[in-house]
Amino acid sequence: MRIDILTLFPEFFASPLKQSILRRAQEQGAVSFRVIDLRDFTTDRHRTADDRPYGGGPGMVMKLEPLVAAIRAVRAEDEAVRVILLTPAGGLLTQKKVQDLAGRGHLLLICGHYEGVDDRLSHYVDEELSIGDYVLTGGEPAALVVADAVVRLLPAVLGCEGSAAEDSFQTGLLDHPHYTRPRVFEGHAVPEVLLSGDHAAVARWRRQEAIKRTLRRRPELLSRAALSPADREFLARLTEISEQQDG
């Protein structure tokens, strides 16, 4: 896979792309990154990429011409590239969307900045994405979030560090609790079932704890989670107990 990142601040990505899973994925040949400086597509000697907004108001707006020129340059190399603008006004990034993006061969992530981009850019991108209902200084952190989420789903990238299939949201549930040594820390002990050596019991405990955690923290996820009949029976018992306690 190839991921291009179009930004006004290419130095922002110098360190993150060389760390941890992102570094390993590049070394394995699973992904290649290219950070593109938007100012390389400006035409004036000051390399101007923003201007005052029509209608007045605070801040500056990113200009349309260099953005479109950059998009066209990347599309000239690969017509199949998926062009994505990171913006608070975009659709919410979900694990399902991440899975879709991980199945594509080439992404171009556009980082907005200042008060935003000229709205006419929507005619030149394939989609707009938001990583949450809050506002960042620019789209650079959001681009890293998208890149990290996508790369970890590429085949063999995680290796022995973990299975993406068991992550939170992969099955519609939050992840189960995790523990490691020491067995007891300041009076807090690891659940005995995890020390039992009974793999079936451990798997059952983890599944039920994932359901418990999701019910407690993100109950809205349960309506679209992939639940087995046994899961639904367990959830019904949890709900009944909760209602009795509330009553």
H helix and E strand count, the chain: 6, 9
At residue 166, the pLDDT reads 52
**Is-catalytic flag, 128?**
no
Catalytic residue (one of 37, 118, 167, 209) = 167
- How far is residue 68 from each of residues 9, 18, 50, 123, 244, measured CA to CA in Å? 18, 28, 13, 10, 60
Catalytic residue (one of 16, 24, 53, 115) = 115
Which residues contact residue 87 at a Cβ distance below 8 angstroms, ignoring those fewer than 6 apart?
112, 116, 117, 128, 129, 130, 139
Task: Sort 57 into a burial class: Cβ within 10 Å, 0-12 / 13-18 / 19+.
Answer: exposed
Are 50 and 63 in contact by the 8 Å Cβ rule? The answer is: yes
The dihedrals phi and psi of 177, each to the nearest 5 degrees, come to -65, 150
Give the CA dihedral 7, 12, 15, 20, nearest 10 degrees.
-60
At residue 16, the pLDDT reads 97
Let me know the angle formed at the C-alpha of 131 by 126 and 135, rounded to the nearest 5 degrees.
Answer: 110
Residue range 97-106: mean pLDDT, rounded: 97
Predicted TM-score of the model (pTM): 0.85
Catalytic residue (one of 16, 53, 88, 177) = 88
Q: Which DSSP state fits 48? A: -
Indicate whether 71 pLDDT > 90. Answer: yes
Residue range 88-112: mean pLDDT, rounded: 96
Structure tokens at 145: 């979030």
Among 72-81, 122-131, 192-201, 237-246, which is the least confidently predicted range? 237-246
Catalytic residue (one of 4, 66, 140, 152) = 152
Q: Which DSSP state fits 168? A: T
Indicate whether 18 pLDDT > 60. Answer: yes
Indicate whether 46 pLDDT > 90. Answer: yes
Residue 76 binned pLDDT confidence (cut-offs 50, 70, 90)? very high
Q: Facing residues of 128 across strands?
A: 85
**Is-catalytic flag, 167?**
yes
Domains of the chain: which residue ranges?
2-159, 184-246
At residue 130, the pLDDT reads 96
At residue 163, the pLDDT reads 56
Residue range 106-113: mean pLDDT, rounded: 96
Indicate whether 3 pLDDT > 80. Answer: yes
Indicate whether 90 pLDDT > 70. Answer: yes
**Is-catalytic flag, 100?**
no
**Is-catalytic flag, 40?**
no
State which H helix or E strand residue 22 sits in.
helix 20-28
Are 43 and 180 in contact by the 8 Å Cβ rule? The answer is: no
Indicate whether 193 pLDDT > 80. Answer: yes
Matching residue, tokens 């490691």: 180
Closest CA to 84 of 66, 110, 102, 105: 110
Residue range 59-79: mean pLDDT, rounded: 97
At residue 164, the pLDDT reads 56
Second CATH level (architecture) for the domain 2-159? 3-Layer(aba) Sandwich (3.40)
State which H helix or E strand residue 4 sits in.
strand 2-7
At residue 31, the pLDDT reads 98
Residue range 47-59: mean pLDDT, rounded: 93
Its CATH class, for the domain covering 184-246, is mainly alpha
Residue range 66-92: mean pLDDT, rounded: 97
